[in-house]
């Protein structure tokens, strides 16, 4: 057997790229003057598919918009349907939704920072981050039966329940991961060469972040707090306390640190939710016909605000269904972040917005 | 939300725009008829630190239904508009956050946007032939850890062409 | 000839779920990818094993067809995830031209949405042994 090595990066899709960049360098040939983008490749016509399926079938479709935020899509979709149908969820279901969502957020953030370590060629650090993420993959596989798509949500509640044993298992895994993330954060805060490499890179100034309407960790790293969980609480977030992590630097480092510290917040949200988990039903029995009307709903996905709009004409199928994903708002900010930066930093800056193409293309 | 409702009503009255603001399904809703009023209204919303979250469009029997979804300090405000002719004033000069959403309107629904600062195609159009990709760097190369050398080559080549 | 088996990956419009899990299968030792004796390549002409993810969107079809002509005659084709196998939930969309076996003979299916890294490593192992058989035949 010969040695095995991975020469393909995570986003090395060999074929058809959803986004193409035309990068114009400055006269020095080392820095970026401007960037133009062409988008549009993983378009699967999803907003058309959903009009031909009924409200229950669409639950499955929304889960397949994107692998990494595959919990937020059905979650936010369900909230829109429930608003139309005037359903108030059992409290236990609200908490269980939060638990599924925060679990996904932690895994997603760990993956993004792991990719940053990969790009920096910090292999030990990357290994540590991916190992930490594996604990959360184990949680997902144990509790929901799948490592990516949890299938946790259903119109009117959730499809899974937690027993004391399962909660104990999750707590044990969280404690293990917590210890690792503490180490990782320490490294990010004390390793001067690492900091030097990514501080001041890809800066998005506060004013630009506001005017472009960026969302998620990208916004918060530039001092803009539009965390939906905080600004417009949904599910059980109104009853759970957490800190919104913001920074002012707006660079690649700040975005990584926002994600790392959000992992701690998500962990404490999980702990709170376990302790305060109310007794009761996990789902309501809902008739499949949704009354006429229109509704909007939002949630905070790992990459930021996710929004759904749903219009029903009283039949089994939606009349119009649209969603806008966090990456959609953040792409345009890349132009600001890249300008004037070294060409060799392009990959770092792309990764720092945690771009999701399949989400944006639909 | 009630507070915002009265603020918005005040704004509409000041501008002489006939509409009413309703609270439904955790959001504020209003509809306006005049597309020119949209621009005036958008300016007012801008002063209230609104941000464009999304724009929804649907083809209907006579024209298009457009919904602007604004976030104003955590409250969602949905502004509905019916278009008889596919033409709209761009609000991107006030809301950079509307940039992509408006371009999607023009590309997918053929709505002409007046005064959009960057009306180029958002998604790849059939008319853009494969040749253009030569000049563009795919995301994969850009995201690759070994991107630098590849890009350097392209940059050098481009510069070489410039010098010739 | 060299013992190394070259794996070439094509994304035809995947939701990134499969791609993330491919990465996990390669980078995390416990899934045993190390022991398979294969390595990823960016060069389609070197490919021994071809991994295809995604539901083959209309946009990606011409690119897939072009790449297919660049691939060697002798190869093992793996459809990874339900999308290239059947089109999955997207199959009735105007933007989907799959499934993969419309374009090329598929040797191994790794089903799942997404399949776990363990299953991916298993599927690649199966593809490796198919490849070795093919080499042995000649």
Pairing status of strand A318-324 against strand A304-312:
antiparallel
Across the interface, which of C9, C17, C27 has its CB nearest the CB of A149? C17
pLDDT band at A29 (very low <50, low <70, confident <90, very high): low
Q: Which helix (H) or strand (E) holds B147?
A: helix B147-163
Query: Given this model, what pLDDT does residue B4 score?
Result: 84
Chain-chain contact of C93 with A8 (C-beta, under 8 angstroms): no
E-state strands within chain A: 19-25, 32-39, 153-154, 157-158, 293-301, 304-312, 318-324
Higher-pLDDT residue of A289 and B148 is A289
Question: Tell me, which fold does domain A19-148+156-361 have in CATH?
Answer: Cytochrome-c3 Hydrogenase; chain B (1.10.645)
Query: Given this model, what pLDDT does residue A325 score?
Result: 84
Q: Looking at chain C from residue 5 to 44, which residues have their Cβ under 8 Å from any Cβ of chain A?
A: 8-21, 23-24, 26-28, 30, 33-42, 44
C-alpha distance from A117 to closest chain B C-alpha (Å): 10
Query: Given this model, what pLDDT does residue B21 score?
Result: 81
Query: Given this model, what pLDDT does residue A98 score?
Result: 92
Query: Given this model, what pLDDT does residue A21 score?
Result: 64
Chain-chain contact of B26 with A83 (C-beta, under 8 angstroms): yes
d(CA A208, CA A198): 20
Query: Given this model, what pLDDT does residue B162 score?
Result: 39
Q: Looking at chain A from residue 80 to 109, which residues have their Cβ under 8 Å from any Cβ of chain B?
A: 83-84
Q: Which helix (H) or strand (E) holds C76?
A: strand C76-80
Q: Which of A126-135, A255-264, C33-42 has the lowest mean pLDDT?
A: C33-42
Q: What percent of chain A has pLDDT over 90?
A: 24
Residues of C in contact with A123 (CB under 8 A): none
d(CA A355, CA B7): 37
| Average predicted confidence (pLDDT) for chain A | 82
Distance (Å) of CA A36 to CA A72, B34, B92, B137: 30, 34, 18, 10
d(CA B120, CA B159): 26
Residues of B in contact with A29 (CB under 8 A): 155-156, 159
Using an 8 Å Cβ cutoff, are B144 and B150 in contact?
A: yes
| Average predicted confidence (pLDDT) for chain C | 81
pLDDT band at A178 (very low <50, low <70, confident <90, very high): very high
pLDDT band at A357 (very low <50, low <70, confident <90, very high): low
Query: Given this model, what pLDDT does residue A44 score?
Result: 65
The most confident of A3-12, A99-108, B150-159, by mean pLDDT: A99-108
**Domain ranges, ordered by start, for chain C:** 5-137
Query: Given this model, what pLDDT does residue B64 score?
Result: 86
Residues of A in contact with B51 (CB under 8 A): 210, 213, 226
Q: Looking at chain C from residue 68 to 87, which residues have their Cβ under 8 Å from any Cβ of chain A?
A: none
Q: Which helix (H) or strand (E) holds B29?
A: strand B27-32
pLDDT band at B142 (very low <50, low <70, confident <90, very high): very low
User: Residue A14 pLDDT > 60, yes or no?
Assistant: no
pLDDT digits (tens, 9 = 90+) for A291-339: 888 888 999 989 888 999 988 888 888 888 888 888 888 888 888 888 7
d(CA B3, CA B47): 16
Q: Which of A12-21, A117-126, A162-171, C94-103 has the lowest mean pLDDT?
A: A12-21
For the segment C4-19, the average pLDDT, to the nearest whole number, is 80
User: Residue B160 pLDDT > 90, yes or no?
Assistant: no
pLDDT band at C94 (very low <50, low <70, confident <90, very high): low
Chain-chain contact of B96 with A296 (C-beta, under 8 angstroms): no
The three-class DSSP label of residue A106 is helix
Q: Which of A8-12, A293-297, B24-28, B134-138 has the lowest mean pLDDT?
A: A8-12
User: Residue C34 pLDDT > 90, yes or no?
Assistant: no
Across the interface, which of A68, A127, A130 has its CB nearest the CB of C16? A68
pLDDT band at A87 (very low <50, low <70, confident <90, very high): confident
Higher-pLDDT residue of C53 and A183 is A183
d(CA C29, CA C41): 20
For the segment C85-114, the average pLDDT, to the nearest whole number, is 79
Q: Which of A241-245, B53-57, C2-6 has the lowest mean pLDDT?
A: C2-6
DSSP state of A239: G
User: Residue A39 pLDDT > 80, yes or no?
Assistant: no
Encoding tokens for residue C25?
A: 């299968």
User: Residue A267 pLDDT > 90, yes or no?
Assistant: yes
User: Residue B144 pLDDT > 60, yes or no?
Assistant: no
C-alpha distance from B14 to closest chain A C-alpha (Å): 25
pLDDT digits (tens, 9 = 90+) for A345-355: 777 888 888 77
| Average predicted confidence (pLDDT) for chain B | 73
Q: Looking at chain A from residue 143 to 172, which residues have their Cβ under 8 Å from any Cβ of chain B?
A: none
Pairing status of strand A153-154 against strand A157-158:
antiparallel
Phi, psi of B143 (to 5 degrees): -85, -10
Query: Given this model, what pLDDT does residue A266 score?
Result: 93
Chain-chain contact of C27 with A127 (C-beta, under 8 angstroms): yes
pLDDT digits (tens, 9 = 90+) for B105-139: 887 777 888 888 877 666 544 444 343 334 444 44
Query: Given this model, what pLDDT does residue A254 score?
Result: 92
Which residue shows structure tokens 């795919």? B138
User: Residue B7 pLDDT > 60, yes or no?
Assistant: yes
Sign of the CA dihedral with B41 first, then B46, B49, and B52 last: positive
Asked if the B2-128 domain carries CATH number 3.40.50.300, the reply is no
| ipTM > 0.85 (yes/no) | no
Q: Which helix (H) or strand (E) holds B24?
A: strand B22-24
Using an 8 Å Cβ cutoff, are C90 and C97 in contact?
A: no
pLDDT band at A37 (very low <50, low <70, confident <90, very high): low
Chain-chain contact of A148 with C40 (C-beta, under 8 angstroms): no
User: Residue A182 pLDDT > 90, yes or no?
Assistant: yes
Chain-chain contact of A311 with B138 (C-beta, under 8 angstroms): no
Sign of the CA dihedral with A199 first, then A197, A333, and A117 last: negative
Burial class (CB in 10 A: 0-12, 13-18, 19+), A230: middle
CATH of range C5-137; options 3.40.50.12280, 3.40.50.2000, 3.40.30.10, 3.40.710.10: 3.40.50.12280
Encoding tokens for residue C85?
A: 């196998």
């Amino acid at each position: 057997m010969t040695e095995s090595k991975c020469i393909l990066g995570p986003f090395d899709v060999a074929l058809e790229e959803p986004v193409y960049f035309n990068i114009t360098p400055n006269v020095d040939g080392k820095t970026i003057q401007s960037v133009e983008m062409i988008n549009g490749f993983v378009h699967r016509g999803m907003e058309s598919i959903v009009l031909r399926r009924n409200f229950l079938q669409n639950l499955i479709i929304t889960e397949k918009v994107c692998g990494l935020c595959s919990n937020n899509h059905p979650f936010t979709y369900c909230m829109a349907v429930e608003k139309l149908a005037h359903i108030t969820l059992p409290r236990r279901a609200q908490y269980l939704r939060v638990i599924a969502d925060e679990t996904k957020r932690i895994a997603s953030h760990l993956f993004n920072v792991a990719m940053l370590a990969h790009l920096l060629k910090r292999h030990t650090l990357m290994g540590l981050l991916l190992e930490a993420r594996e604990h959360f993959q184990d949680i997902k596989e144990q509790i929901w039966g799948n490592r990516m798509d949890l299938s946790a949500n259903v119109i009117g509640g959730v499809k899974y329940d937690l027993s004391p044993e399962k909660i104990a298992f999750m707590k044990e895994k969280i404690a293990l991961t917590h210890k690792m993330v503490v180490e990782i954060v320490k490294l990010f805060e004390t390793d001067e060469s690492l900091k030097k490499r990514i501080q001041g890179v890809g800066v998005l100034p506060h004013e630009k972040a506001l005017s472009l309407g960026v969302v998620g960790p990208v916004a918060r790293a530039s001092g803009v707090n539009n965390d939906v969980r905080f600004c417009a609480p949904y599910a059980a977030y109104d009853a759970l306390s957490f800190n919104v992590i913001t920074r002012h630097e707006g660079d690649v480092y700040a975005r990584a640190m926002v994600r790392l510290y959000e992992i701690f917040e998500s962990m404490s949200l999980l702990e709170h939710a376990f302790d305060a988990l109310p007794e009761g039903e996990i789902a309501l029995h809902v008739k499949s016909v949704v009354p006429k009307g229109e509704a909007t709903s939002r949630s905070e996905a790992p990459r930021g605000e996710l929004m759904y709009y749903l219009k029903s004409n009283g039949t089994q199928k939606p009349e119009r269904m649209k969603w806008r994903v966090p990456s959609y708002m953040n792409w345009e900010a890349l132009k600001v972040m890249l300008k004037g930066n070294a060409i060799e930093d392009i990959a770092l800056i792309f990764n720092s917005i945690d771009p999701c193409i399949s989400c944006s293309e639909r | 939300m009630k507070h915002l409702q009265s603020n918005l009503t005040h704004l509409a009255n000041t501008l002489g725009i006939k509409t009413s603001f309703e609270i439904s399904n955790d959001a504020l809703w209003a509809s306006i008829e005049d597309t020119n009023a949209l621009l005036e209204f958008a300016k007012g919303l801008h002063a209230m630190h609104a941000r464009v979250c999304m724009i929804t469009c649907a083809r209907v029997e006579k024209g298009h239904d457009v919904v602007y979804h604004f976030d104003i300090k955590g409250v969602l405000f949905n502004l509905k508009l019916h278009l008889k002719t596919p033409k709209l004033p761009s609000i991107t000069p006030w809301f950079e956050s509307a940039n992509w959403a408006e371009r999607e309107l023009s590309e997918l629904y053929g709505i002409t946007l007046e005064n959009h600062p960057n009306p180029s195609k958002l998604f790849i159009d059939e008319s853009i032939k494969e040749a253009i990709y030569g000049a563009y760097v795919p995301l994969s190369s850009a995201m690759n850890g070994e991107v630098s050398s590849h890009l350097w080559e392209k940059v050098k080549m481009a510069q070489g062409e410039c010098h010739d | 000839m060299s013992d190394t088996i070259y794996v070439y990956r094509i994304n035809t419009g995947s939701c990134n779920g499969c791609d993330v899990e491919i990465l996990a299968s390669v980078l995390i030792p416990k899934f045993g990818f190390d022991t398979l004796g294969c390595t990823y390549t960016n060069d389609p002409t070197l490919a021994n094993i071809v991994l295809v993810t995604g539901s083959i969107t209309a946009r990606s079809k011409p690119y897939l067809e072009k790449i297919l002509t660049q691939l060697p005659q002798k190869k093992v084709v793996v459809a990874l995830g339900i999308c290239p196998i059947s089109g999955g939930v997207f199959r009735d969309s105007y933007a989907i031209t799959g499934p993969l076996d419309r374009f090329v003979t598929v040797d191994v299916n790794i089903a799942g949405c997404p399949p776990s890294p363990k299953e991916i490593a298993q599927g690649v192992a199966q593809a490796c042994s198919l490849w070795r058989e093919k080499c042995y035949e000649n």
